[in-house]
Structures are given as structure tokens and as C-alpha cells.
A and B are shown apart, each in its own frame.
Chain A
Amino acid sequence: MSEWIDFSIYAFQIVLIFVLLFPQSVHFTLPAIVDRDPAWPAAHPQVMQSLARSRWFVNTCYAWAVLSVGALLALRLGVDVPVFSAPRQAPEWEVLRAWHGALMVIGALGYFACFCVWLRWLRVNVPLAAERRASLTPRGAGDHVPRWWRVATELLTVGHLGAWLAAPAFGFGGDADYWRRFAFIAAGTALLAVMSWLWPQRRQGYADRLFGDAFRRVELRVFYIMRLAPLTTGAVVLGEAILGLDLARAAHLLLALIICGLALAFTRLRPVEPGAGAPTGYRPFAPDRRSAA
């Protein structure tokens, strides 16, 4: 398989996340403030203007995308850059994968850090309004994820962990490294299971008001798809141990494509009509084809 396929998938993912998805966060600045106190923007016009003018976050996202794709392209073309020279003994697809992973993780951590700084600014500067509203309708995963999907996920999860526990009895694995991997996969599975249970109870925010039920539906379904990630990893490791197959490369490319699909699901959200409560200044991710038609 040509390494250009690996490069294309990784580059597509980087562009999708750092050019299309993350920079859209700035459009939620005003809704996030309005969500805490609707009267705050009108009372602080200068702060709002400076927030609207600020471009450093978007430019940083674009710069990271250019740097990341450029680094992967340089690797693919075999450009002699000192920082790439160390792991060159490994196959090229592994080097590409390692660099792509590192660049994505650094970018995601940077985004998370910016998000934390923004939340802190919001909490310090925009006090919560005295009037609060809430629905008396309980929420659950069942509202947006069909029962068959939830049952299938739980069965697959139990079956997968059971296979890991049973494999040593048939002479596969069982050494310290095997159990270390199992502990890692089991911890990931448990974490995602708990989050998918708690997530429906997340408070209604500005995104829910803008996008309506579609936001929570996409969010929950993404969570349930993400629950398959530890299963896929585990199945690949078990497949390699039992069948002697080398699935690592295909699995990583598949995972990258799945992440692209999940990111695209968020970029397709549109404000609900009519009167979605979208404050002035909000721009959707892309022109709404329905309203354009």
C-alpha cells in the first residue's frame, strides 16, 4: 500500500480538524456569554469588540495545520530535516503514523488549554444571571441512541473483555505485557462507558439552544461510536496474537477515517429554525443549503 494513502488520510484529518472544526469555536464566543448572562454583551461593548477583533486563535489553528501537513509532506518526500532523522529505521508508514499522532495530540492539547483559559475567563468576567431555566423532562441515552445500538455496544464490550480474559486459557498471551495491555484497554472501555452514561445529564448549553436536539443526538452517537475504539484496538491486538495478522496499519488508518467522520458530523449541524435563539453575530459552519434553497 502506498504511503501516499496514509499521508492523504492524515492530511485530510488535520485539515478537517484544525482548519474546519476548531476555528469554528470562535463563533460560539457570543452565545457562550449570552448563555451565562444575556445582558452582559450590551453592558460591555468594548470587551465584545475586542473579542470580535481577536484573530490569534484562528490563525494559530491554521498555522498548526500548515505546520503539521508540511511536516508530514516533508517526511513523505524524504526531506532531510534533523528532527526526523532519529526514527528513520522504522518503516515509513510507522514514522508517518507516529508523527501524525504526535502532531494531533499536541494540537488537541493546545486546543484544550485554550478552552480551559476561555472557560476561566468566562467564569471570572461573566457572572451567571440571577434567572435560570431548566426542563423538568429527564434525559437519557435512550432519547437519541436506539435500544438495539446500546444493547449491541454493551454486548460487544462484554464479549471483547471476555475474549481477552479467555484467550490465555487457550494458550494465547497471558504474559505481563498482555495483562498490561488488557488493563489499558479495560480502563479505556470503563471510562467511555461511564461517560456515555453521564453525558446525557450534561447541562443544556448554548449549543443545545442553537442546534436543538440534533446537537445532543450527534454528541451521544459520537460517544457510542467512540466506545468502539478500545474494542477495535483490542481486537487488532488479539488478532495479531492469535491469527498472526499485521493489522496495525489498517487499523490506524481506519481510526483516522472514523475520527474524520465524527468531526464531519459536527460540522454538518445547523441552527434550528425558526427562532433558534442564535444571538447576533453567530455564523453557522457553512451556508445553510435549506435556507438557500
Chain B
Amino acid sequence: MEITVLLSSPEPVYEQIVRQVQDAVASGELAPGAPLPTVRQLAGDLQLNRNTVARAYKQLEDRGVILTAGRKGTFVRDNASSEVERIKASRAERSVRHVVAALLGAGLSRAEIETLFRDALRVALPKETTP
């Protein structure tokens, strides 16, 4: 399993690492209990400052995705997958609320917003039947 970081991306590098580890956990590429490389190894391979990788690991640990067990190393938590799903759901909910607030602020009605969302879903998921 490989990760790629793009230094020219507007997304901070540590967040790119966090996102890709979370995606790997959510997709099952990183199974519960799977070991992760040390901060030194990952920082060396990506040619980044160790603090950047340490910050990403700290954030993943705070979110309950990984567990650092001292000298034994860093591992994916047993319930990491559900934590990642919860994080994703919460992020999606925030994004949708943000969009809805922006649309309401632009003067659109409830019916217009619903139509916009329905159309967007129809474009994004053409094979599925949308109400």
C-alpha cells in the first residue's frame, strides 16, 4: 500500500497523509491491527520533516484510527474502520450544511435546493434511481 503526497497541493501535507491513511482503513487496505511505518521511515521515504509525519500520526491517533504502542510500533486500531466512517459522515454532514447555508444565503428556496441536489445526484449516480 503506497501513499502519495503532492507538495504543490493546497491541502497541507500532513492532512494528505491523514486522509490517505483513513481512506486505506475505510477501504480495508489497512486492516485492523496492521502495523504502520515509524515516523522516521515514512518521513525519510517522503523526504519530509519528521514533525510533519508526527503531526499526521498524532491527528490519526486523536481520531482513534491508529494506536502507538511505545517501542512496539504504530498499529491500526481494532475499531478504526467505524471511527473513519464516523469521521467521514461527520465531515460530509458539515459540508452539506455549509452548501445549504450558502444556497439559502443566495436566496434559493427549499424546493429549488432540493431540485439542485436531486439533479446533482442524478448526474453523479446515473444508474441509481433517485426519488
Contacts and interface: CB of A to CB of B under 8 A. Distances in A.
A130 B7 CA distance: 5
Given A202-B44, A203-B47, A136 B37 contact: yes
Contacts, number: 61
B1 A137 contact: yes
B123 interface: no
B36 interface: yes
B59 interface: no
A139 B5 contact: no
A132 interface: yes
B73 interface: yes
Contact of B36 (A131, A133, A138, A201): A138
Report, as a range, how many residues of chain B touch the other chain: 20 to 34
Contacts of B48: 132
B3 A136 contact: yes
Given A138-B37, A138-B38, A201-B40, A132 B1 contact: no
Contacts of B46: 132-134
Nearest to A135: B2
Given A138-B73, A203-B45, A133 B6 contact: no
Interface string A98-140: 0000000000000000000000000000001011111111110
B3 A134 contact: yes
A132 B47 contact: yes
B109 to A, nearest CB: 44
A11 B123 CA distance: 75
A204 interface: yes
Interface in A178-220: 201-204
Contacts of B4: 131-133
Given A139-B37, A201-B38, A201-B40, A134 B8 contact: no
A122 to B, nearest CB: 13
B53 to A, nearest CB: 9
Contacts of A139: 37, 41
Nearest to B7: A130
Contact of B21 (A136, A138, A202, A204): A136
Interface of A: 128, 130-139, 201-204
Given A130-B6, A136-B37, A138-B36, 10 more contacts: A130-B7, A131-B6, A131-B7, A133-B2, A133-B4, A134-B46, A135-B45, A136-B24, A136-B42, A137-B37
